[in-house]
């Protein structure tokens, strides 16, 4: 399936909570190297779908393939090791760790460590740690957090915390980055900066991005494809231009009266 260039595929995904159908039979694919956005009104099932994609929830029916590997039901750290990283809608940094430590935690699946090697601090381990520190500094700088290495995460400004979340996700060396409402709470200027940053991610780091976003300027500005969910169902999919003029989408967002 991956031969067609999709890094992630969700096939007939369905999720029920008790009697409630949160996601209903959604087919979804993310082509490699693109920025795909997932939008929909509040309560459309976006975050549930997101959690299914990241393996947090096991779908009631259907499955998710990441580079042809089924990931439903895998523990989150294994999904991360495969090359998929996420940020959180409500910032979930390690608040009492420094920015650098936050980034280094995320390298967990990429460095060897080892209890004995750590206790005796072998030359190989020292080298590995030094490389990790250097890479952390690089990532922080790339994310616009230069000289914030030793600041506790909770002492960073809101925008910096958002950036640190991305830097941390990048430290897992993802092929696919999932951003859950990254610009929530940002002012227009920060939002614009962030949008350029995401575009740069794709160009410079060759990372595929899935974006859940409310801000339509962000979505329409950088997405290659947009998927719209409403009441747990996929109601539209396509290029931003098409989505903007799709009647079902307008109806979902503005109510049926708006189309008349």
Partner 1 sequence: MRNHVGQEAPPKRPARKRLPTSDWSASWRRFRRRHPRARWILPAFALLLAFSYPWWGLEGPLSAIFNDGLGIDSDTLFNISIYVMLALGLNVVVGYAGLLDLGYVAFFALGAYTLGWFGSGLFAQRDIHFLDTSPARLPGIHLSFWVVVILAGVICAIAGVIIGWPTLRLRGDYLAIVTLGFGEIIPDIFRNGDDIHGFNLTNGVRGVTLMDRPGFGVAVHNATGGVLPDRYNSLELRPWYFTVLVMMAIIIFVNLRLRDSKMGRAWIAVREDEVAASAMGVPLMRTKLWAYAIGAIFGGFAGAIYGSFINGIFPTSFSFQISVIVLVMVIVGGMGNIWGVIAGATLISWLNFTGLDKIGNWINSGIPGSGNDIVIAKYKFGIFGALLVLMMLFRPEGLIPSARRKAEFAEGEGPSEYLYDVGVDEARA
Residues 8-67 close enough to bind partner 1 by CB under 8 A: 17, 20, 22, 42-45, 47-48, 51, 54, 56
Give the length of the chain. Answer: 260
Site for partner 1 in 136-155 (CB under 8 A): 141-144, 146, 152, 154-155
Identity of the residue, 102 or 208, whose beta carbon is nearer to partner 1 in the bound complex: 102
Is the Cβ of residue 193 or residue 244 nearer to partner 1 in the bound state?
A: 193
Please tell me whether residue 221 binds partner 1 under the rule CB under 8 A: no
Q: Decide whether 238 or 253 has the Cβ nearer to partner 1.
A: 253
Select from 2-10, 97-105, 214-222, 251-259 the region that touches partner 1 (CB under 8 A). 97-105
Of the candidate spans 109-117, 211-219, 220-228, 237-245, the one that interacts with partner 1 by CB under 8 A turns out to be: 109-117
Residue 164: both structure tokens together? 């640190």
The contact mask relative to partner 1 for 169-208 (x = CB under 8 A, - = no) is x-xx--------------x-xx--xx-xx--x--------
110 touches partner 1 (CB under 8 A) = yes
Q: Which of 94, 184, 202, 237 binds partner 1 (CB under 8 A)?
A: 94
Q: Is residue 122 near partner 1 by the rule CB under 8 A? A: no
Q: In what order do the strands lie in the sheet with 61-66?
A: 20-31, 6-17, 61-66, 69-70
CB atoms within 10 A of CB 56: 14
Q: What angle do CA 167, 226, 58 make, to 5 degrees?
A: 70
User: Could you say whether residue 123 binds partner 1 (CB under 8 A)?
Assistant: no
User: Strand locations in the chain, DSSP E?
Assistant: 6-17, 20-31, 35-39, 61-66, 69-70, 84-86, 176-180, 208-212, 225-230, 233-238
Whichever of 76 and 240 has its CB closer to partner 1, that residue is 76
Let me know: does 255 contact 41? Beta carbons within 8 Å. no
Which residue do the tokens 């009647």 mark?
Answer: 247
Would you count residue 96 as binding partner 1 (CB under 8 A)?
A: yes
Contacts 24+ apart (CB under 8 A), 67-74: 67/2, 67/7, 67/8, 67/175, 68/1, 68/2
- Confirm or reject binding of residue 90 to partner 1 (CB under 8 A): yes
């Amino acid at each position: 399936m991956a031969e067609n260039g999709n890094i992630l595929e969700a096939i007939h995904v369905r999720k029920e909570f008790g009697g409630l159908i949160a996601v209903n039979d959604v087919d979804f694919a993310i082509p490699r190297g693109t920025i795909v956005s997932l939008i929909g009104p509040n309560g459309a099932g976006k975050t549930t779908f997101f959690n299914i994609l990241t393996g947090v929830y096991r779908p009631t029916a259907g499955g998710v393939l990441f580079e042809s590997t089924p990931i439903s039901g895998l523990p989150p750290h294994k999904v991360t090791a495969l090359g998929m990283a996420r940020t959180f809608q409500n910032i979930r940094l390690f608040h009492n760790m420094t920015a650098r430590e936050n980034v280094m935690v995320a390298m967990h699946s990429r460095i060897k460590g080892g209890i004995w090697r750590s206790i005796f601090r072998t030359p190989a381990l020292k080298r590995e740690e030094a490389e990790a520190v250097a890479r952390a500094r690089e990532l922080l700088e790339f994310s616009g957090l230069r000289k914030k290495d030793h600041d506790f995460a909770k002492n960073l400004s809101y925008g910096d915390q958002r950036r640190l979340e991305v830097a941390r996700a990048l430290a897992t060396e993802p092929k696919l980055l999932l951003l859950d409402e990254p610009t929530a709470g940002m002012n227009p200027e920060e939002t614009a900066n962030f949008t350029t940053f995401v575009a740069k991610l794709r160009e410079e780091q060759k990372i595929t991005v899935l974006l859940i976003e409310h801000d339509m300027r962000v979505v329409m500005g950088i997405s290659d494809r947009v998927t719209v969910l409403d009441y747990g169902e996929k109601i539209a999919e396509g290029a931003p231009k098409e989505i903007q003029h799709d009647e079902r989408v307008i109806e979902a967002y503005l109510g049926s009266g708006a189309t008349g």
